[in-house]
Structure 1
Amino acid sequence: MSRKVRADIHLDAIVHNYRLACAQAPEAKAVAIVKADAYGHGAVRVAQSLAAEAPAFGVACIEEALVLRSAGLTQPIVLLEGCFDAEELPVVSREGFWPAVHSEHQLAALERAVLPVPVPVWLKVDTGMHRLGFAPDAVAAAVARLRACAAVSDILLMTHFARADEPEQAMTEMQLARFNQVAEGLGLAASLSNSAAVMAWPEAHRQWLRPGIMLYGATPFERAQPVADQLQAGMTLSSEIIAVRDVPAGEAVGYGAAFVCDQPRRIGTVAMGYGDGYPRHARVGTPVIVAGQRTSLAGRVSMDMLTVDLTDLPHADVGSRVELWGRQLPVAEVARWSDTIAYTLLTGLTSRVPRCYD
C-alpha cells in the first residue's frame, strides 16, 4: 500500500482568489505571480487554470518563464528579477517576456542589444526596500535612456513594499510618497501592489497589480483583514495515521524526549515529516486536524513521521485522515506555530509529496 501523503491543489480556489484580487481594483490589470513553481502549487497547472483571465504572469527568472512557454502559455511573462546575462535578451525578445530593469548593468545591456523585437521593460524604483532598483534621484535619467533605446518598446515603473503586510506601520506611506515624487511628470503606468497592498492599500493599486501569496489562499497579515478573510485555501496537505500506541504518564515521545506525557496518552504516528517539507521546528502543540477534529503535535517532527495526541479522539485510528494545513486549518496558523511564514511552508514542500489537482 502506498504512502498516503498528498497535497491536493484546489484550482477553483486559486481562480476565486485571483478574482478577489481583481475585484479590489476593477480598473487595473493583475499579473498572476507564479514564481517558485506557483508557491509550491505547480506553476503550469496554476497558470493553465488562470489563462482565460490573467493578462500576464510573473516569475522570478527566465528559466521559470520558459517552463510556462513550453507548456503552451502565451501571455506576456514578467521577469521580476530581469535578465541575469545579456545573452538572455534575444530569448526575452523572441518569447514575449517583459523584463524588470533594476540595475545599471541591465540598462547598459539593453542599450547595447540588437533585438528582433523591442521589449517592454519594468523599471524598478528603490523606494526603501533596498534590495533592487534605481535610487529615486536616478530614475529620470534611467527613463530617458530607456526611451532612447531601440531595444525598448515601452516602460512601466514598479516598486516593492517592505511592510505592506503591517497596515499600522507608516513605512508604506513613506514609500508611496517617494514613488509618487519620482513618477510625477513621467507619464508612465505603474505596478506597486503585492498581495498585502492589493488588500490593504487601495492608494497603491495603479495600473497593474501583482497578487502572489493571496492567490494560494494564505494571508500575509498577522491579524484578521476583511479581504484576506475571503481567501480560500489553494492547497490541502494531508496524510494518515499509520500507528497508534498508549503511552504511560511520565514517558517521553520522539527525538530529544521533547514531549513528556503528563497523563496516560494515546499517541498517533503520522506519515509526514521534514523530508516532505513539513517544518521540523513546528512546536509541540502545533494544530493538526485528525478525522475532522482538531488536535496537536506531541513531540518533535522527524524526517518521515510526526506524532499527534489522540487522547481526546477515541474514534481516530490507523487509517484516519490527517490534515496538516488546508481548508480546515489555515497554513498561516501552522506557520505561526513554526515561527515562520506561510510562504516558506508552501514553497518548501518536497517532490516526495504528490500534487493532486481538483
Structure 2
Amino acid sequence: MPRPVQAEISLAALRHNLGLIRQKAGRARIWSVVKANAYGHGIANVFPALQNSDGFALLDFNEAIRLRELGWQGPILLLEGFFEPDDLALIEQYQLTTAVHSFWQLAAIVNARLRRPIDIYLKVNSGMNRLGFAPDRLHAAWLEASASSNIGDITLMTHFASADSETGVAAPMALINALGAEMPLSHCLANSAATLWHPQTHADWVRPGIVLYGASPSGRWQDIADTGLKPVMRLSSQIIAVQPLQPGDRVGYGGRYCAAGSQRIGIVACGYADGYPRHAPGGTPVLVDGVKTAIVGTVSMDMLAVDLTPCPAAGIGSPVELWGAALPVDDVARAAGTLGYELLSALAPRVPVVTDQNLEVRMRG
C-alpha cells in the first residue's frame, strides 16, 4: 500500500470557480493564471477544467510549452516577460504574448529578426515598485513600441499592490486613467482581489489567480466565504500510529509540547517534505474523522502529531484532512503565519495528486 498522503484536485470546483469569475468579470476576457505549476495543482491536472478561459498567464517557458503540448491554441501571456534576447525565438515559435517592463526588452524586440509580430503587454509601475516602466516613461515606451513592425497588439498592464486591503485601488486607477487618456490601448489591470472587489478595474482583461483555486487573495477565508468559491485542493492523510501520553510527556523534536494530563495523540503521515509548513505552531487546525482538532509539537519531515482528545474514537487508519473543503487552506495558513498561496504552491512532488475525474474512473473501474 502506498503512503496514505495525497492531494485531491476537484475539477468540478475549478470549473465552478471559473464560471463565478466569468460572471463577475462581465465583458472582460479572462487570463487564467497557472504560474507555479498552477499554484501547486499541476498544469496538466487543471487544464481540462480551464479550457473555457480566454487565455493562460504564467511565468515559465516550460509551462507555456506544456500548455501547447496539451493542445491549447489560444493566447499565453508571460507575466514577467523574457529574460534575454534569445528567448524571443521561443516566444515567436510558440506564439506567446510577453509582458514588456523595461527598455532593454523593448529594444530586444525592435532589433530582433522575426517572421511575425509579437503581441506585448506594456507594463507600468503603478506603485508596486517591482516591475514596470515609470509612469513618466511609459509614453515614450509606447511610441517606440508602436513604431516597430516587430510588435503587434499592445495592451497596457499593471499590478495592484493593495487591492485586497483598505488602501484599495484608487490611486493606481487615477494614474492608469490619466495615462490611458494619452494612449488608446486595451487594458489588463485586475488581479484576483481586484476581480472580486473592484469592478471598475475589470477593463478588457482580468487575471484571476488564487481565487480560481478557491483561496482568498487577502489570506482570510471569511473574505470570500460569501462568494460561492470552492476550494479545489484537498490534502489528506491518515493516522498511522497512536501514542498514549502521561502528564509531563513531551512530543516531537525539541519536546515543544508537554502533556498536562493523560492524553492520546495521533501520528499523521504528512510533514514538511510533503509541503506542510514546518513552522506551523501547536494549535494549527486539522480534521480527524471530520472532527476539528489541532497539531501538537514540532512538524517533522514526514510526520506530524495531532491531539485526539476531541475525537476519542479515532485510531490507526482514521482519515485526516490537512486542508480542503471542510478546512480552508487559508485557516491553516493563518495559524502558521503565512498565506494559502504558499501552502498550495509548496505541495511537494512526492505527494500523489489525483483529480475527481481520476477518482470517478477508479470507481467505474
**Aligning the two structures, in what range does the TM-score lie when normalised by the shorter sequence?**
over 0.9
Q: Which residue of 1 aligns with 2:260?
A: 262
Shift of 1:45: 2.3
One-letter amino acid of the structure 1 residue matched with residue 330 of structure 2: A
* Alignment correspondent of 2:5: 5
Query: Which of 232, 235, 245 is the aligned partner of 1:234?
Result: 232
For residues 256-284 of structure 1, what are the alpha-carbon distances to aligned partners after superposition, in whole Å with 9 as ceiling and x for unaligned?
A: 11111111111000000001010001110
Contact kept? 1:82, 1:100, Cα under 8 Å = yes
Residue by residue over 1:95-152, the C-alpha shift from the partner in whole angstroms, topping out at 9 and shown as x without a partner, is 1210000011100001101211111100000011011000111111111111111111
1:224 Cα offset (Å): 2.9
| 1:46-195 matched pairs, under 5 angstroms | 46-51=46-51, 53-166=52-165, 168-170=166-168, 172-195=169-192
Unpaired stretches in structure 2, ≥5 consecutive residues: 357-365
**Contact 1:17/1:231, CA 8 A, preserved across alignment:** yes
* Contact 2:287/2:293 (<8 A) preserved: yes
Residue correspondence of structure 1 range 179-328 to structure 2 within 5 A: 179-221=176-218, 222=220, 224-225=222-223, 229-328=227-326
Query: For residues 35 and 48 of structure 1, what CA distance do their matches in structure 2 show?
Result: 16
Given that 1:99 and 1:122 are in contact with CA atoms closer than 8 Å, whether structure 2 keeps it comes out as: yes
CA distance in 2 between partners of 1:186 and 1:61 (Å): 29
Contact 1:267 1:309 in 2 (8 A): yes
Shift of 1:312: 2.4
Q: Hey, what does 1:31 align to over in structure 2?
A: 31
CA contact (8 A) 1:117 1:151 kept: yes
Residues 77-110 of structure 1, C-alpha deviations (whole Å, 9 max, x = no match): 0000111111121221221210000011100001
1:140-183 Cα deviation digits (max 9, x unpaired): 111111111111111000000111111x225x211111111111
CA distance in 2, matches of 1:82, 1:312: 51
Is the 2:17–2:213 contact (alpha carbons within 8 Å) kept by the matching residues of 1?
yes
For 2:106 and 2:339, the matched residues in 1 are separated by: 34
User: Could you tell me the percent identity over the aligned residues?
Assistant: 46
Shift of 1:185: 3.0
Q: Distance in 2 between matches of 1:60 and 1:90?
A: 16
Matched residue SS, 1:297: strand
SS state at 1:230 partner: coil
Q: Given that residues 160 and 172 in structure 2 are in contact (C-alpha distance below 8 angstroms), is that contact kept between their aligned partners in structure 1? A: yes
8 A contact 2:268–2:306 mirrored in 1 = yes
Q: Amino acid of the residue matched to residue 68 of structure 1?
A: L
Shift of 1:34: 0.4
SS at match of 1:109: helix
Shift, 1:223, TM fit:
6.5
Match of 1:262, SS state, is coil
8 Å contact 2:221–2:330 — kept in the other structure? no
**Does the CA-based 8 Å contact 2:125-2:131 persist in structure 1?**
yes
Counterparts of 1:45 and 1:246, CA distance in 2: 41
Report the more deviating stretch, 30-39 or 83-92: 83-92
Q: How many residues align?
A: 355
Instruction: Classify the secondary structure of the residue corresponding to 1:275.
Output: helix
Deviations 1:50-74 (A, max 9, x none): 11x1110001132221121122221
Counterpart Cα distance in 1 of 2:331 and 2:324: 10
* Partner Cα distance (1:228, 1:88) in 2: 43
Alpha-carbon deviation of 1:227? Answer: 7.2
User: How far has the Cα of 1:229 moved from its partner?
Assistant: 3.8
Whichever residue aligns with residue 32 of structure 1, its letter is S
Maintained 8 Å contact 1:90/1:116: no
Question: What displacement does 1:75 show?
Answer: 1.6
Aligned-partner residue type, residue 129 of structure 2: H
What do you get for the CA RMSD once the two structures are aligned?
Answer: 1.2
Gaps of 5+ in 1: none
Tell me the distance in 2 between the aligned counterparts of 1:146 and 1:74: 25
The TM-score normalised by the length of structure 1 is: 0.97
1:228, CA displacement in angstroms?
Answer: 6.1
> Which 4+ residue blocks in structure 1 deviate beyond 2 angstroms?
221-229
Q: Distance in 1 between matches of 2:155 and 2:310?
A: 57
TM-score scaled by length of structure 2: 0.95
Partner of residue 22, structure 1: 22
Whole-angstrom CA distance in 2 between matches of 1:19 and 1:187: 30
- Displacement, 1:220? 1.5
